[in-house]
Structure formats: C-alpha cells, structure tokens
Amino acid sequence: MHPASFISSFKRVISVLVLLALVISGVLFLSRALAITDGPEKNGAFLQDDRQYDVLLFGSSHMVNGIYPMELWKNYGITAYDLGGHGASLAASYWEMRLAVEKHKPKVAVLDVLFAGSDYTEMELGLAHELFDPYPLSRLKIQAVRDIFANKGDRMELLFPLDVYHNRWKELDTEMVERGLEGFQNLSTEKGAQTRVEVYPLEQVPLLDPSDCLEKTSVALGYVERFVTYCLENDITPVLTYLPCQISEEWQRACNAALRLGEQLGAEILNMQNMNLIDYAIDWYDDGSHLNPSGALRTTACMGSFLQNQLGLVDHRQDAAYSVWYDDYAAYVACQMERMKELSTAGQLLSLSALDLFTVEATISPDFSDQTVLHQMQSLGVTPAIRKDGPDLELIIRDTQGNELVHKCFETETTLTETVDA
C-alpha cells in the first residue's frame, strides 16, 4: 500500500474510533444524568467506591428491609453492603452477585432464599431498572439480561435505558448534569438497606419443620445452586439465609428445600424463620411481612453473631484502615435524626426509636388502651407516666446527648394521629 493511502486509511480508522468513543461517552453521560434515580442512589456509588466489603447481601425487598449494614458495623465491626432489590427474583439476585463481585470481591455473599419455589426468572421491569441500571454495560450484564428476560424489547430497554429516560429532558438541572459527569458519588447512608417505620401487627402463621421440603425442583432452585457453586469456585463463602416472613406452607417448603440444597452443596446455612426471633405484634412494616426497625434489629443481630462467631469475620472497629466507616456511621446517625423529626404517628416514632440512637419519654391517660403502642413502649423499656388530664399520649424523643428531637401529643385510643405539637 502506498504510504499516503495507508496514512489516509489510518486517519479514517482513528476518526471512527474517536467518534465511537464520543458516542459511548455521551450515552453513559445521558444514562446517568437522566436515570430513574432509585436504583443508582441506592447502589450506584457502590460501584465507584474503592473500599472492600466483608459481606455482600442479596435477595428481594425482604433483605433490603431485613439486614442493616451500619448496625453490623456499629456492633460487630463488620463491613457490609445490602444489594437486595425490590421484587428481585433469585435469578436476578444470582446475576447481580456476579456483577457486584467483579467490583468488590467479598469474603461472604449472603442470599435470602425467598421465592425459591418460583418457576420464573423475570421480575417487574421498573424494579429491574432499579437493580441493574447502576451497573455499566458489559458483556456480563448483557448475558444477565438475556438470561432473565425473554422479551427482546425488555432486554433492549434494560441494556440501553435512554428510551425510558427521554421524557426527563425537561427535568434536566445542574444536579443531574453533575451526576452525568461524575456519576453517583455518595453511598447510601444505610449502605443499601432501607428502614421502614410503620407498624403492622400480624398473627403468626404455622411454621413447618425445616425438614418439610418441596420435593420437586424449580427454576429458582437452579439459581440457588448456581449462586452457591460460583461462590465456592471463587473463594467466597456462600451463606443461604431464610429471613422471617409470613408465607404459605408451599413457599415454606420451597425455602426449606433451598436451605437443604445449599447445605448439600457446601453453603453455610442461617435459618432465621425457625428461631422465634420476631415479635409479631410490633416487628412488621406491612402485611407483606417486611420488617420494620424493631424486627430488622433482631435479624441483623442474629446475622452479625453468625458472621463473627460461626464464620470468624474480624472486628475492624479498632483498625485505623477502616476509620472511614466511623464517618459513614456519623452520616447514618445524622440521617436517622433528621428522619425522626419528620415522623408524625406514635407508631412510627416508637418504631424508629428501636435504634439505640434515641431515648423515649411518655405519659398516657389512665384509660389509654392502644395495645400496639403499649407493647412498643414495653419493648423499648419505656414505662409511661400516668396523667389525669391532657392528651391520651405525649411522647418526647431525645438523642443520646439528651437533646429533644420530637415532642408530640396524640388523641384517640386506637388509631393515633398527630393532634398537637407541644
């Protein structure tokens, strides 16, 4: 080839490559700037963070609401991130684990086995965006999306979500532009967990013996096997957990089968469903059996003890190399303090007060009879004073230094609503 022709061809190749790079950069910018932010705000910065985690947590919303990483740090010195996804199938949890460990290889990967009896891989598309949008386009992400979703349109939307975001152009502001340029810089103050502070008393469903297992196989059980096998092959300790949940006997048998399968494969097993951990009167957020802080603190303590005593994870609280976690914990505390100030019902206030960041003072009328609220106070170790006049209930919430955060009064005996700010 003549030198001049070679140079001309070379320049064209370079021009094409530069153009391609600009297009890819533009797509990534727009994907971040215009993103539906629930997913990226929860997990996006996890991918940009250089720290290493002892534990990564996977599963559905029951994991998101069931294990609090910052409480694992405070009480056990364990570093963890909750990558659970709302509505996540076990197939989605398996693939998210694969994507996550490419960035941060943990010592332990924990999977909640809810949905073990399902014969589907898919999940609701909007929730899939929350789960997968933070992860950059890659060969592995393409493989994951193709495996989970059968519809080609759904696959393309998840791999190239700009089509979903195009109607957000009018919302573009400085914050969104900065996010597009820099990515999601701030980790969730709760390290991916979410505290839900409502209170929903439930009657306990009969629990089956752990040996009572689903005898047939399921699609989901196949992904449990893949999760465990991949972890063992990559020097990650797999833990299968069964978080407390109100589910049918059929679903219980499926979860039991998942634990049995995991044990056979060499996974560590933590069955919290059969440990009598939960106070059914005050530990639930809703009738879908998601845990509120009162319940999640019990399961988190169980998980922390297991990780430390059974798996030997080291307490990092005295290690100067982990000092940034004290800054993260301070941010977590500040966030919960502000949240406390925003709550309005007695149930909510007492639910969040399960975190030992708060102290509670209460006075009640002689005929006060809301059993849920009384039970909440008893669980917190609060003995209310009796008052002859005034509102049915008066609550004062203080921080650990004694500073007053909330002072509210309530009326009515059963359904408590805010009536007076004292």
- Domain positions in the chain are 34-330, 343-421
Residue 29 clears pLDDT 80, i.e. is over it: no
Residue 390 or 123, more confident: 123
Find the mean pLDDT for residues 242-248.
95
Residue 9 clears pLDDT 70, i.e. is over it: no
CA angle 200, 205, 208 (to 5 degrees): 145
Find the mean pLDDT for residues 86-91.
96
The confidence score (pLDDT) of residue 43 equals 83
DSSP code per residue over 180-238: HHH---S--TTTT----------PPPPPPPTT----S--HHHHHHHHHHHHHHHTT-EE
Residue 289 clears pLDDT 90, i.e. is over it: no
CA pair distance 137, 59, nearest whole angstrom:
22
Helix residue spans in 65-205 (DSSP H): 69-76, 90-101, 125-132, 139-148, 152-159, 162-165, 174-182
Residue 163 or 55, more confident: 55
Average pLDDT, the chain: 88
| Topology of the domain covering 34-330 | Rossmann fold (3.40.50)
The confidence score (pLDDT) of residue 205 equals 87
CA pair distance 27, 29, nearest whole angstrom:
5
At what angle are helices 125-132 and 90-101 packed, to 10 degrees?
20
The first and second tokens of residue 225, run together, are 């096997």
Specify the 3-state DSSP secondary structure of 284. Answer: strand
Q: In this prediction, what percent of the chain has a pLDDT beyond 90?
A: 72
* φ, ψ of residue 241 in degrees (nearest 5): -120, 155
The first and second tokens of residue 55, run together, are 């534990």
Find the mean pLDDT for residues 36-53.
74
The confidence score (pLDDT) of residue 150 equals 94
The confidence score (pLDDT) of residue 241 equals 98
Half-sphere exposure of 418 (CA within 13 A, CB side): 11
Find the mean pLDDT for residues 7-27.
61
Q: What is the pLDDT of residues 138-196, one digit of tens each?
A: 999 999 999 999 999 999 989 987 655 555 555 555 655 455 555 555 568 999 999 99
The first and second tokens of residue 188, run together, are 């969730």
The two beta strands, 404-411 and 417-421, are antiparallel
Among the residue ranges 14-23, 77-86, 231-240, the one predicted with the least confidence is 14-23
CA pair distance 52, 335, nearest whole angstrom:
23
The confidence score (pLDDT) of residue 421 equals 52
Residue 27 clears pLDDT 90, i.e. is over it: no
CA pair distance 46, 55, nearest whole angstrom:
13
Query: Which pLDDT band holds residue 47 (cuts at 50, 70, 90)?
Result: confident
Query: Which pLDDT band holds residue 50 (cuts at 50, 70, 90)?
Result: confident
Find the mean pLDDT for residues 94-119.
96
Q: What is the pLDDT of residues 308-358, one digit of tens each?
A: 999 999 999 999 999 999 999 999 999 999 999 999 999 999 999 999 999
CA pair distance 318, 305, nearest whole angstrom:
18
The confidence score (pLDDT) of residue 272 equals 98
**CA dihedral for 293, 64, 198, 269, sign (positive or negative):** negative
